[in-house]
Amino acid sequence: MRADRLVATVLLMQARGRVTAAEVADELEVSVATARRDLEALSSAGVPVYAQAGRGGGWSLVGGARTDLTGLTSSEATALFLLAGPAAAVAPPVRSALRKLVGALPEVFRADAEAAADAVVVDPARWGERDRERPATVGALQDAVVRRRKVSLVYEGRDRRRSQRLVDPWGLVDKDDVWYLVAGTEGGQRTFRVDRMVTVTVTGEPAHRPEGFDLSVEWERVVDAMEQRRSPLSATVLIAARLAPILRDRFGRHSEEIGIDDDGRARIRVAAPTPLSIAQDLAGWGDAVEVVEPESVKAELARLGAELVARYARDPAGAREEVAVTERRRAPATTSARHTTSSTATAPSSTG
């Protein structure tokens, strides 16, 4: 991409002070003619570069001008604006930061960055649903995470019992409008629901954050552990390969494809809290899904099937009798209609 190449050219001039078209061409693996056109394009676009002819000449930045975005490529800058742009609509500090970032870019790179900032809009309102309100304490917790200050909080557990905690806040997670705080405690890493925090006080005491801590990685571990507790039972099923993606989408992270059988069907492991839960999710697939194991899921499917048959299946003899009764009831009306039609048809000729 030419934009990436232009950024690389500016950074090369920053690093070396002065470059020739041949050096740029060699470094960026382009032709000398392309390198020269790029240098001229930078100058025409307002980037402070100038050429000096003669022996020892070349291209350099006027007055050693530099950009603070060293190492940032065009695609990286665009990605940054795509991520930050939606937040700018509701957060004035983000909007201000983006304006400063645009100003730090050379003129030739600004158009794509500004367009990226306006490329995505986030509408937090759901269709026909009431949004959960963001807990008022989130702002204080974010500040504590950034400034690395310990937090004193009163926390209400599932049993409604309250306890006083002093924690090292490591990061916040917003999962479908439910906020969680990942923190360090005397007992190790813990995860707290923010909406269960009765009070939150940011202290002046420095918080400790483990070296190399990665919030996204740790959150994945938290989610995996939670899902394992919520879905301790697994079942192995067979399904046509073309339907496997649909089944996996239905079970989400509670499914795993473990291979293809000799008959071409996909072998998938699915999980849920109980045999009944798995059976209920599979019942709608009918004979498109075959449960290999365990027997408990098979038994639940058989029981569900028997219940459905008992409620909705009709006795064949009774069904035939019902059809016969319906036909007999319709017969007089049909005969009468036939007579009426006949009389109506002959009327015009008798009056004509």
Cα–Cα–Cα angle for 40, 44, 46, rounded to 5 degrees: 120
- Characterize the bridge pairing of strands 162-175 and 149-156: antiparallel
Helices (H) and strands (E) in the chain, counts: 12, 12
pLDDT digits (tens, 9 = 90+) for 24-37: 888 888 888 888 88
- Residue of 2, 47, 48 whose CA lies nearest to 28: 2
CATH topology of domain 2-64: Arc Repressor Mutant, subunit A (1.10.10)
pLDDT digits (tens, 9 = 90+) for 184-234: 999 899 999 999 999 999 999 999 989 888 888 888 888 877 777 766 788
CA–CA distance, 126 with 340 (Å, rounded to integer): 60
- Residue of 207, 200, 204, 205 whose CA lies nearest to 137: 200
CA–CA distance, 135 with 195 (Å, rounded to integer): 6
**CB-CB contact of 249 with 281 (8 Å):** no
With a cut of 60, say whether residue 338 has pLDDT above it. no
CATH code for 231-311? 3.30.70
CA–CA distance, 267 with 291 (Å, rounded to integer): 10
CB neighbour list of residue 169: distance below 8 Å, 6 or more residues apart: 141, 144, 145, 149, 150, 151, 181, 183, 207
The residues facing 193 across adjacent strands are 180
CB neighbour list of residue 275: distance below 8 Å, 6 or more residues apart: 233, 235, 294, 296, 297, 299, 300
- Per-residue buried b or exposed e for 263-288, using 16+ beta carbons within 10 Å of the residue's own CB: eebbbbbbbbeebbbbbebbeeeeee
Higher pLDDT, 309 or 226: 309
pLDDT digits (tens, 9 = 90+) for 242-251: 999 999 988 8
The mean pLDDT of 313-329, rounded to a whole number, is 59
Ordered DSSP codes for 129-198? SPPPPPPTTHHHHHHHHHHTEEEEEEEE-TTS-EEEEEEEEEEEEEETTEEEEEEEETTEEEEEEGGGEE
Domain 138-217 has CATH 3.40.190.10: no
Grade residue 134 by pLDDT with cuts at 50, 70 and 90. confident
**CB-CB contact of 7 with 67 (8 Å):** no
What integer pLDDT is reported at residue 333 of this predicted model?
46
Grade residue 268 by pLDDT with cuts at 50, 70 and 90. very high
CA–CA distance, 271 with 228 (Å, rounded to integer): 9
Q: Sketch the domain layout of the chain as residue ranges.
A: 2-64, 74-117, 138-217, 231-311
Q: What pTM value is reported for the model?
A: 0.49
**CB-CB contact of 12 with 19 (8 Å):** yes
Instruction: Give me Rg for the CA atoms of the chain.
Output: 35
